A and B are shown apart, each in its own frame.
Chain A
Amino acid sequence: MAPHSPLSRWAGRTVATQLQFHLHLDDPRLPEQRIHLTGDREQLEALQQAVTTYVQELLNQSPAQFNAQLAQTTATESTTGADSVVIAPANSIDSSPFSLQQIFLKSSRGLSHALCLGSLATPVTGPVVQLSVLQLFDLATALDEYEADIVALPSLNRRSRVSATPPAWATIAAGLTLAVGVFAVLQQLNRPAQQQITSNQITEDPQQVAAQPSPLPPLSSLDTLPPPPPEGSPVPVPATPLPAIPVPNAVPPTPAVTAPQPGSQQASPPTGASDAPAIAVPSPLAQLNTPNPRSQATIQAQPTAAPQSASPAPAAPQQQAANNTTTAAVRSPSAPPAPSEPTSLDNISQVGEARQFFQRRWEPTAAVRQPLEYSLVLDVDGTIQRIEPLNQAARDQIDRTGMPLIGEPFVSPISDGKVARIRVVLTPDGKVQTFLEDREAPQVSRDPRENAP
């Protein structure tokens, strides 16, 4: 019995999901002790909620409150966070994240923070794990990445409630390894070989999958994020696999490779107590299990974008760093989700290359009744950095477009070192149009590739 996601309650169908995440905590102060946490998506989301809220509380503190905490010398490690919660059976539709609310954080001695593991606690970890500021930051960043990836997926859905609603992950397999000195977060989706769905819960009603237009994002010059998906609209459960999720690998810059700032000297040698964390080399793991969902509409599930190169070898940095970092902030205004005349900016050869790329791959099916429009952000190395479907159809059909995966070879590198945004229009009669939308400043966020040999 595959576990149902909470989505089932309101999507009117069962969405089987199995997401597991693994979290490794390396504490420089306890080099011999490596903490390993494992959980499912609900726990991951509870953790994310707890961390996000806690970080915001931390930032909202006044300097006086901050100081009071810093002056606190007694460790407030308590064992009240012991796990007394009974997790509802996985196949219970009503297993709500509320039973997992015991995951929370509180301030601890000095600058450190206590992560009360609640249901994530194991006999090895105990109920509470101490986190340094950097550990907390890396954890928060990793969880933000996770959330951003969910948001980046097509046919996702989010309620504007406190808890993030999980999207239809059912047919996605992705691995994420994040080694940030202290954390390695590894999320993996293991699809059951055979997904059994109780017949009374699967109502493949195409009406429920009525496409809704995306809301127009506000066109203020400060609109820096892609428009959120419509709230409360039904989630189309894909009969074909969704594109693989971009697997971000946000490796914050390692202090070890930085050139010393002028005027700064080395700090006093560490007394072995808490040295600056050593940054582990990430070993990205992008597993793409080809899913074969057994839904009523049996469509051959074939990943259209077969990776042209083998999945990156371990220790090769992931192709994309936190891509919704700078570029998200650099973009302005966001592309309106309506076709518009391209501004005749300095055209670049990559636009033509992209057109040829899709011309080779684009074969419309009967399901395509309107043009599919995408806004793609090209990284300077010619790979895709972001994929933004601009209409619902584009979201739903993305897996049939031949869209390359994020970070996959796509077009030639951009010679002037500027990020480019191109619009791709795929029409039902098989035509492909591409044009340049925008040139952007190069990314300033650290890219692990810089350190690649």
Chain B
Amino acid sequence: MHSSAQLPTPTSRWEELTKIQPNPAQLDNIKAQLDLVLLALEALAGIGSEAMLQAAAQLNLESKIPDRVALWRLRQSNPLRKGEGGRKKLDVEEARSLVLISCYLAKQHQEVIRRAVALLEQVTYNNEPPHKAALLGDYIDAFSNTYQERMEEDENVSTDVLTQLALKLLIDLLFYSSAGGHRRLWLALLDRSK
């Protein structure tokens, strides 16, 4: 258990959390993480930018993310991305908007997330590879393919690493899909970008 003094406790409320201003380096890292959370949702639930924009509209976040181009720019702000990746600045408000959208979508797709986690537990318990379960296999493949399409080539990223990343994100998504998910995600972003 490590807990950082300057970080709020997990029970902190969202308003309190919104007062925390990540520094630019943290934000850079947050950009990458958020892009990956959305990527996991895309791979698992088959959602695209349309669903993300819809979520933005329902959360009254159109001012932050008015259209597909704006969303694409936010996603492109991930420094791991190919080409223009990382050039765009992502401000705190935009990061929070993406947090809310991610959790909203996770909630919408909680069923498939639950099912995937249940399968993952089952194959893990039986010491079988995750691909043994079709849903997991499809998810991992979709995640890996999309990741490789969009991100800069990195020799360190093997199939295994991508699989682990996908599975970790899957379990995280489950916890983000509950009522206080946006708090959990924001705290995790702050913590992991330290």
Residue numbers of A with Cβ under 8 A of B are 29, 49, 52-64, 66-67, 70, 110-112, 132-134, 137, 140-141, 144-145, 147-148, 160, 162, 164, 217-218, 220-225, 227-228, 250, 252-253, 255, 258, 261-268, 270-271, 273-277, 322, 324-326, 328-330, 332-333, 441, 444-446
Contacts and interface: CB of A to CB of B under 8 A. Distances in A.
3 smallest A-B Cβ distances: which pairs? A56-B10, A276-B118, A441-B58
B124 A70 contact: yes
15 contacts: A49-B11, A56-B184, A60-B187, A61-B168, A63-B161, A70-B164, A137-B117, A253-B114, A258-B111, A264-B138, A267-B119, A267-B133, A270-B122, A275-B122, A330-B60
Interface string B157-180: 000010011011001101100111
B115 interface: yes
Interface string B94-132: 001100100110011011101101111111111010001
A227 B125 CA distance: 43
Interface string B65-98: 0000000000000000000000000000100110
Contacts of B111: 253, 255, 258, 446
B18 interface: yes
B122 A224 contact: no
B15 interface: yes
A255 B115 contact: yes
Given A268-B132, A446-B110, A63 B164 contact: yes
A141 B110 CA distance: 13
A91 to B, nearest CB: 28
Contacts of B14: 222-225
Contact of B104 (A61, A274, A326): A326
Given A255-B115, A264-B138, A273-B126, A148 B179 contact: yes
Nearest to B178: A141
A254 B191 CA distance: 32
Contacts, number: 197
Nearest to B11: A52
B145 to A, nearest CB: 14
A111 B168 contact: no
Contact of B9 (A53, A67, A111, A147): A53
B15 A147 contact: no
Given A56-B187, A264-B138, A133 B117 contact: yes
A271 B64 CA distance: 49
B126 A271 contact: yes
B120 to A, nearest CB: 7
Contacts of B18: 218, 220, 222-223
Given A60-B187, A217-B15, A265 B134 contact: yes
Given A222-B96, A274-B122, A444-B107, A324 B179 contact: yes
Interface string B134-149: 1100100000000000
B150 interface: no
A29 B138 CA distance: 26
Contact of B15 (A223, A255, A276): A223
> For B13, B63, B119, B168, which residue has the most chain A Cβ atoms within 10 angstroms?
B168
A227 to B, nearest CB: 7
A316 B134 CA distance: 35
Contact of B115 (A220, A227, A258, A263): A258
A322 B3 CA distance: 29
Nearest to A443: B107
B135 A267 contact: yes
A158 B114 CA distance: 33
A190 to B, nearest CB: 27
Given A273-B126, A326-B107, A145 B138 contact: no
Contacts of B11: 49, 52, 147, 162, 164
B31 interface: no
A264 B133 CA distance: 9
Contacts of A66: 164, 167-168, 171
A446 B10 CA distance: 25
B114 A255 contact: yes
A67 B162 CA distance: 11
Contacts of A324: 179
Contacts of B122: 267, 270, 273-276
Contacts of A70: 124, 164, 167
B61 interface: yes
Contacts of A441: 58
A334 to B, nearest CB: 9
Contacts of A328: 179
Contacts of B167: 66, 70
Contact of B168 (A63, A162, A217, A325): A63
B1 interface: yes
A222 B188 CA distance: 18
Nearest to B174: A137
A200 to B, nearest CB: 34
A134 B135 contact: no
A24 B38 CA distance: 35
Contacts of B172: 59
A444 B184 contact: no
B100 A329 contact: yes
Given A137-B174, A273-B122, A268 B133 contact: yes
Contacts of B184: 55-56, 59
B10 to A, nearest CB: 4
B161 to A, nearest CB: 8
> For B1, B3, B111, B178, which residue has the most chain A Cβ atoms within 10 angstroms?
B178
B133 A134 contact: no
Given A144-B178, A325-B179, A444-B107, A57 B1 contact: yes
B41 to A, nearest CB: 13
